[in-house]
Amino acid sequence: NIPDNTLYRLYAMINYSTNNTKTWLITPEDFINTILSNDDVKKTLDSNTLNNLETLSFVIDSTINNKSYTYKKIASIFNLSSSDTKDIYSLYIDKKMTMKISPLDFISFIVDHQNDQVLSSINKDTIKDLELLVEVMNSTLNNKLYSDLDMGNLLNIDSNKITLLYSIYNIDYEKKSISLSYQEFVNFLLNNIINNEDYSNKVTKDKVNKINTIKKVIDNSLNNYQYNNKELSKILKVLSNDIDTNLIEVIYIYYGSENNYNNDYSLTIEEFINYLDNNILKDKRFTEFITEEDTNNIKDGKKMVNDAKEVLIGNNYNRVVLNTKYAVENEETFNFIKNIKNDLNKDDIYVIGNSPMAYDISKTFASELNLITILTIIFIFVVVLITFKSFIIPIILVILIQTAVFLTMGILSFEGGSVYFIALLIVQSILMGATIDYAILYTSYYVEYRKDLNIKDAMINAYNSSINTIITSSSILTIVTLIVGHFSSAIASKICITISQGTICSTILILLILPELISSLDRFIIKKK
């Protein structure tokens, strides 16, 4: 994928420098190595072309020298996903490796696991035949001898027929009484009965094939010969049509997981789900074992993993979510967060959330609360001082509203509830700023009415003039914050509910306490004329 004019220039340069102007032919290896070994030529190529040439050089070199690489190296060279490349490696290794099992081990495994779901498709008659085959192979390995009656019971054949065969054996070998091993009995059938013209017509071709197959299995069992899945599939097809090639391959995999599994094998959740979706669901060998529900669960699991990756894994930072049994903020929670931060002890790791925020605030809370309280009092004091031109009124109003704040926190404490640090700071500011307006309103009316009325009448008229406004405004603030607090969560809920309770406390103090305070201190508030 190099532009023609660039390619022609490079070909000309290389061929002239090597005096190869007759054939004008270059191997890819010579072409690429000549370019990459010349820094001046490399400078004339764009980065994409240069990267392609370097990758090709790597491929050529590894091919010539027959080098092998880990999946991580290949993934980095070809800019592939590591997990996908590992899956390809696993599949490749699985195809290259051939497991071999002895017939006795294989059939014994089926018999021992006959009730497992993987082997549920094998019918009971086939299992009985396999159980017989296991006993036969074990007796052969142990050179166990059988009388005619025992052989008949073993093979579930009419004892008269077995006795007749034993009699023929006695005549042929001139023996009066004999016990035979299963191997001797099978050899006798093949050599003296099946191949004898007088008896061969009494044995069907199908039975002859089975007897020959059993003899092969027995002989190979004695020699400890092992079969791969394809070899054993051909043998078992003769003995039973109930066990097909796919099932044998599945049993081989099952056998390997039971007997040859390496506990050091490891997969990530993503690799496991992807392998199930990309390989197992598409493999015909496993179709009958996977229900529609299993398929849906695997698909949902893959979507869940992909969605989680988008939320938890980023280009610069990854996210880990910790859930604990601790409350949002208390001493145990703070100790837990402190231990996490000490264990991590790295600049590029951050612990965030409601609890860590509360922990950070708690370290500076006392000083911040004091600072906010003092600043709020000072600024409100100055505003009220300018409004009324009196030192006594700001003191009364600030103390009253601050008392409402303390009452609100006290009520929460007696209820057994908790207050977020940030909620306390916000409530402190809002209550001082919002509810002091009600106190200012009443005081303004009182001062105005005192110009013409005595203390009692001024108090009554100020009360009547301000009560509707105070109740209306405070009710709106109380109801709105209560509703928002009910439908919000965590800090927002606690702040709104606390403001609602604080507004109620402030309103009660303004309506019931403020008039008495103002009238009691009238001589300090109203200038005598």
User: Mean pLDDT over residues 44-67, rounded?
Assistant: 73
The first and second tokens of residue 87, run together, are 């899956």
Contact 358, 328 (CB under 8 A): yes
Greatest mean pLDDT among 89-98, 387-396, 411-420: 387-396
What value does the mean pLDDT take over residues 41-65?
Answer: 75
Report residue 284 as tokens.
Answer: 């015909």
- For residues 202 and 189, the answer to whether their CB atoms sit within 8 Å is no
The pLDDT tens digits of the residues spanning 167-181 come to 777 777 666 657 777
- Name every residue whose Cβ is closer than 8 Å to that of residue 507 and which is 6 or more positions away in sequence: 435, 438, 470, 471, 474, 478
DSSP per residue, 504-529: HHHHHHHHHTHHHHHHHTHHHHSPP-
pTM value surpassing 0.75? no
> Which tens digit of pLDDT belongs to each residue from 333-360?
989 988 888 888 777 888 888 888 888 8
Q: What was the pLDDT predicted at 89?
A: 60
DSSP 444-455: HHHHHHTTTS-H
Residues 440 and 511: beta-carbon distance below 8 Å: no
Q: For 440-499, how does the pLDDT look when each residue is reduced to its tens digit (9 = 90+)?
A: 999 999 988 988 889 899 999 999 999 999 999 999 989 998 898 888 776 788 888 888
Nearest to 423 by CA among 328, 352, 334, 487: 328
Residue owning tokens 């669901």:
281
- The CA distance from 355 to 330, in Å, is 9
**Averaged over 417-425, what is the pLDDT?**
68
User: Which among 50-64, 83-97, 253-267, 300-314 has the top mean pLDDT?
Assistant: 300-314
The answer to whether the Cα torsion of 325, 331, 337, 339 is positive or negative is negative
Is residue 229 within 8 A of residue 249, CB to CB? The reply is: yes
Per-residue pLDDT at 379: 87
**Residue 296 predicted with pLDDT over 80:** yes
Q: Across residues 109-129, what is the average pLDDT?
A: 78
Phi, psi of 133, deg, nearest 5: -65, -35
Give 316's DSSP letter.
Answer: S
CA dist., res. 235 & res. 221, Å (int): 13
Average pLDDT over every residue of 269-284: 80
Q: Which residue has the higher pLDDT, 139 or 323?
A: 323
What confidence category does residue 1 fall into, taking pLDDT thresholds of 50, 70 and 90? low
Residue 257 scores a pLDDT above 70: no
User: What's the farthest any 2 CA atoms get from each other in the chain?
Assistant: 155
11-19 mean pLDDT:
76
Which helix (H) or strand (E) segment holds residue 481: the answer is helix 455-487
CA angle 314, 320, 323 (to 5 degrees): 150
**Sole residue written with tokens 């009360």:** 463
Report d(CA 4, CA 49) in Å as an integer: 13
For 145, the enclosing helix (H) or strand (E) is: strand 145-146
Q: What is the mean pLDDT of the chain?
A: 78
* Percent of the chain surpassing pLDDT 90: 7
